[in-house]
Amino acid sequence: MDMIKDKEIVVPGQVLAKGMDFIPSSATFRDGEDIVASRIGLAQVKGRVIQVIPLTGPYMPEVGDVVIGRIVDMNYNGWEIDIGHHIKPFLTVNDVVPKFKQRSSNFDMARIFNIGDIIRVTIIKAAKNDIKLGTRDRTFGRLNNGILVKIPSVKVPRVIGKKGSMISLLKDFSGCRIFVGKNGWIWISGDSDKELMIEKAVKLIDKEAHKSGLTEKIQRLLGIPEEDIKRMKESLLEENSEESVADEIQKVESALPEEEIQEKKPKAKKTTKKGDKK
């Protein structure tokens, strides 16, 4: 064997191709003449470029990723955020609240972010041993009254779907507000039973991301009538028949939903009034 077949499932250490004609791309490495897979995933051959689309694995942050995080600790300086990575980035209070407001007598850090709060935030630095979070753009803010579901970050494109088809399906049929973090943390807010339904749908996507017929399974789970499922399937067929999971994952790379967030600047509101908000 000289060459792996496109879309074949490969394991770490597996030789994908021999010879200097090929170029190793993501989740692969070169060892002498060989191009070798470094993670379990689907092999992808595009001309001379060989890469592996991982099927699971730890979240590797990249600059620009919009992620969902959770406040896990705080001190007088700021907050420690869990984003599903072994580094828990620190958000300093100075980045979030202007100095003069901090001096106010009724200033209380826990009113801005308390332990257990869920936030949405963008990664602005992703070095191997240092991750920094941005506080200046519109994605930044606390997410109230929802639930958090965690899946491997590599499955995020499947939750979004082709051109955002899956995520709009989930939103439209549940009426829930959903934010999908690049880190695989998903925040869902709506009626409790709808939240539960979306949680189940997301877990099903995680379990069966590599299998065919996923959209129909999700439609059934959401309680969409069979005739409508059929109709939707037919209308979709013309658009994109028989595309592989790998192609799909490529296409939706960074198609995260752009939406208004609930509280853009919690600091402004929170510090000015003697809030009785929790």
Partner 1 sequence: MSYTKRVDGRAFDELRPMSVKVGVLENALGSCLFQMGKTKVLAGVYGPRQLYPRFLRNPEKGTVRCFYNMYSFSVSDRKRPGPGRREKELSEKIAQALEPAVMLEKFPDAVVDVFVEIIQADAGTRCASICAASTALADAGMPMKDIVSSVAMGKIGDKICADIDKYEEDYEGGATDIPIAFMPRTGEITLLQLDGEISPEDLKKAISVGREKVKEIYEKQKEALTAKYKGDKQ
Partner 2 sequence: MKTNVKKQILELAQQGKRIDDRAFDEFRPVSIEYDISVNAEGSAMVSLGNTKVNAGVKMDVAEPYPDSPNKGNLMVGLELSPIAAPQFEPGPPSIDSIEISRVIDRGVREANAVNFEKLCIKEGELVWQVFIDEYAIDSDGNVLDAGAIAAIAALANTKLPKLDEENKVDYKEKNSKKLELRNVPLACTVVKIENFLLVDPNSKEEEVADSKLTITMSEHGIHGIQKGNGVLTEQEIAECITLAKKATDKLRKQLKLK
For partner 2, the binding residues in 142-161 under the rule CB under 8 A are 145-148
Number of Cβ within 10 Å of residue 118's Cβ equals 21
Picked from partner 1, partner 2, none, the partner binding residue 148 (CB below 5 to 8 A depending on kind) is partner 2
**Token digits for 114?**
């308390």
CB of 155 to partner 2, least distance (A): 19
Tokens linked to 142: 């606390």
As given in the structure block, the two tokens for residue 248 are 């799909």
Our CB check for partner 2 shows the closer of 192 and 241 to be 192
141 — phi, psi (to 5°)? Answer: 165, 170
**Cβ(266)–Cβ(142) below 8 Å:** yes
> Out of 116, 235, 258, 277, which residue is the one contacting partner 2 (CB under 8 A)?
116
195 contact, one of partner 1, partner 2, none, CB 5-8 Å limit per kind: partner 2
Nearest C-alpha neighbor of 268 from the set 116, 145, 178, 135: 135
Our measurement of the distance from residue 34's CA atom to the centroid of its chain's CA atoms, rounded to an integer in Å, reads 33
Is 223 a binder of partner 2 (CB under 8 A)?
no
Strand, coil or helix: 158:
helix
- Pick the closer one to partner 1 by CB: 54 or 161: 54
CB of 38 to partner 1, least distance (A): 5
| Piece of the chain touching partner 2 by CB under 8 A; list 5-13, 191-199, 204-212, 218-226 | 191-199
Residue numbers of the site for partner 1 (CB under 8 A)?
9-15, 27, 29, 31, 36, 38-40, 54-58, 60, 86-88, 128-129, 152, 154, 208, 210-213
212 binds, among partner 2, partner 1, none (CB under 5 to 8 A by kind): partner 1
Using CA atoms, how far apart are residues 216 and 229, in angstroms rounded to an integer? 7
Nearer to partner 1, 31 or 226 (CB): 31
Selected binder of partner 2 within 37, 65, 70, 205 (CB under 8 A): 70
CB of 118 to partner 1, least distance (A): 20
Interacting partner of 27 out of partner 2, partner 1, none (Cβ under 5 to 8 A depending on kind):
partner 1
DSSP-derived letter for residue 106 is T
Is 77 an interacting residue with respect to partner 2 (CB under 8 A)? no
CA gap 191, 197 in Å, rounded: 10
What are the backbone dihedrals phi and psi of residue 73, each rounded to the nearest 5 degrees, phi first?
Answer: -160, 155
Q: Are 5 and 18 in contact (CB under 8 A)?
A: no
